Amino acid sequence: MATWVLSECGLRPFPRLYPKPRTGLPDSPFSNPNSGSIGIAPFKTAKTIAISSYSRMCRDKNWALKVSAPVTIPFLDEDESGITGEFNPGAPPPFTLADIRAAIPKHCWVKDPWRSMSYVLRDVVVVFGLAAVAVYFNNMVVWPLYWIAQSTMFWALFVLGHDCGHGSFSNNAKLNSVVGHLLHSSILVPYHGWRISHRTHHQNHGHVENDESWHPLSEKIYRSLNDSTRKLRFTLPFPMLAYPFYLWSRSPGKKGSHFDPNSNLFLPNEKKDVITSTVCWIAMAALLVGLSFTMGPLQVLKLYGIPYWGFVMWLDLVTYLHHHGHEDKLPWYRGKEWSYLRGGLTTLDRDYGWINNIHHDIGTHVVHHLFPQIPHYNLIDATEAAKPIFGKYYREPKKSWPLPFHLLGVLVSSLKKDHYVSDEGEIVYYQTDTTRKL
């Protein structure tokens, strides 16, 4: 990076403050995130701008102050060729998916079914242990602590079922399906229905229309929503309770259900899988009804109902923040500008403090999005190996305290400003509705 200072001694280079970036973007156009499109601007180097400023100032004979001051130009990145330009997150990266794959060590791709099953055993033991402790003490000091802990464990079970859906749990498809059904059905998630739609999300991540979960609304769809729907989507805590409703009817602007084998979410040869998962979901719901008659509805509510809704909030929080809320605006794509790599590079890693290990490092999300077949226990190693390739396309997550309370502020801020994207343009950014209070 090079800048210049103007002093009474003439035009002098300013000391280098930062190392050269690991990725350069020669001849990259400047981006205007607020406009929702890419604008081409005349390209000027820092030296050109500084000399021009110096010439204008020399014509003015009246120097009021004789102090050194930096010429008022932005700090610019410099690539290996000496060409400078602002980093543009929407520009095609100077590396390929194969480059990232080659940088990831071989051991990161190995799936160990015994290790995967050990995490299942650990989580199941903790779930039943927490329930036993809560029932034993049965007082209003223990119950709230139980609800927080158990909802987090339900979320951990979901992440392991999610690994089964990606095939990163093991290389055995039958084992993945059996374990996935047991884990997801236990928390009222239709395994195959969700697995297939989540596959669609990964295959189209970062695409405005084709992405499946937490994709942006176009301005036209956003304006068509009534006030109550808009408030439900952008006013807490309602967005954090959205998952069960999404399973039944998907997002605004899309139709279908994760329980309906005839939904356009699924291919004809996937109908039997969807029916199987829906039957398992019904069986779990029936079990809960039966337990309500046996144990009493209040006990089932305390042991299962409240933790279930806490799990839903975990799921919505984590999945939302992996695609929203960065301090710099990140692009969404349409048409020819979209690619699997560019879409995946708009995802974000998040740090959850002590929760990282409990929910199986799902916050290590960028590499997971690009290579979902990597087991969760190898994601950290894979990410560290890939960082030199990513360069500035990787956004280091803010370190968390033991509990990730800082992410609540990120969530609130994002919901206040990330409302819709332009109906036109192949590279677009979130815009804010300033016409109404949400």
One DSSP character per residue, 299-355 reads HHIIIIIHHHHHHHHHHHHHHHHTTS--SS---EE-GGG--HHHHHTT------TTH
The pLDDT of residue 10 is: 45
The pLDDT of residue 68 is: 29
In whole angstroms, what is the distance from residue 53 CA to residue 11 CA?
10
Q: Name the burial class of residue 98, with classes exposed (0-12), middle (13-18) and buried (19+) by CB atoms within 10 angstroms of its CB.
A: exposed
In whole angstroms, what is the distance from residue 37 CA to residue 406 CA?
31
Amino acid at 368: H
The pLDDT of residue 435 is: 84
Grouping H, G, I as helix, E, B as strand and the rest as coil, residue 39 is coil
In whole angstroms, what is the distance from residue 23 CA to residue 226 CA?
45
Backbone angles phi, psi at 84, to 5 degrees: -110, 155
Nearest alpha-carbon partner for 421 in 215, 123, 186: 215
In whole angstroms, what is the distance from residue 195 CA to residue 321 CA?
20
In whole angstroms, what is the distance from residue 420 CA to residue 224 CA?
12
Per-residue pLDDT tens, the chain, 438 aa: give them: 444 444 444 444 444 443 333 333 333 333 333 333 333 333 344 434 444 444 444 444 443 333 323 333 333 344 433 344 688 999 999 999 999 999 999 999 999 999 999 999 999 999 999 999 999 999 999 999 999 999 999 999 999 999 999 999 999 999 999 999 999 999 999 999 999 999 999 999 999 999 998 999 999 999 999 989 898 999 999 999 999 999 999 887 788 999 999 999 999 999 999 999 999 999 999 999 999 999 999 999 999 999 999 999 999 999 999 999 998 889 999 999 999 999 999 999 999 999 999 999 999 999 999 999 999 999 999 999 999 999 999 999 999 999 999 999 999 999 999 999 999 999 999 999 988 665
In whole angstroms, what is the distance from residue 48 CA to residue 44 CA?
6
Which of 120-145 are b and which e, b meaning 16 or more Cβ less than 10 Å from the residue's Cβ?
A: beebbebbeebbeebeeeeeeeeeee
Backbone angles phi, psi at 89, to 5 degrees: -65, -15
In whole angstroms, what is the distance from residue 255 CA to residue 393 CA?
33
In whole angstroms, what is the distance from residue 416 CA to residue 310 CA?
23
- C-alpha distances out from residue 95 to 30, 132, 220, 340, 396, Å: 20, 52, 35, 13, 19
The pLDDT of residue 213 is: 87
In whole angstroms, what is the distance from residue 330 CA to residue 402 CA?
28
Grouping H, G, I as helix, E, B as strand and the rest as coil, residue 227 is helix
Q: How remote is the C-alpha of 149 from its chain's centroid?
A: 23
The pLDDT of residue 36 is: 36
All residues at 6 or more sequence positions from 329 whose CB lies less than 8 Å from its CB, including other chains: 33, 34, 429, 430
Q: DSSP of 352-397, one letter per residue?
A: -TTHHHHTTTTT--HHHHH-TTS-GGGHHHHHHHHHHHHGGGS-PP
Stated as kind and residue range, the H or E segment containing 154 is helix 142-166
Q: Name the burial class of residue 63, with classes exposed (0-12), middle (13-18) and buried (19+) by CB atoms within 10 angstroms of its CB.
A: exposed
Q: Any idea which residue has 């055993």 for tokens?
A: 121
Grouping H, G, I as helix, E, B as strand and the rest as coil, residue 7 is strand
Q: Any idea which residue has 């409703």 for tokens?
A: 245
Which of 343-376 are b and which e, b meaning 16 or more Cβ less than 10 Å from the residue's Cβ?
A: bbbbbbbbbbbebbebbbbbbbbbbbbbbbebbb
Nearest alpha-carbon partner for 391 in 26, 1, 20: 20
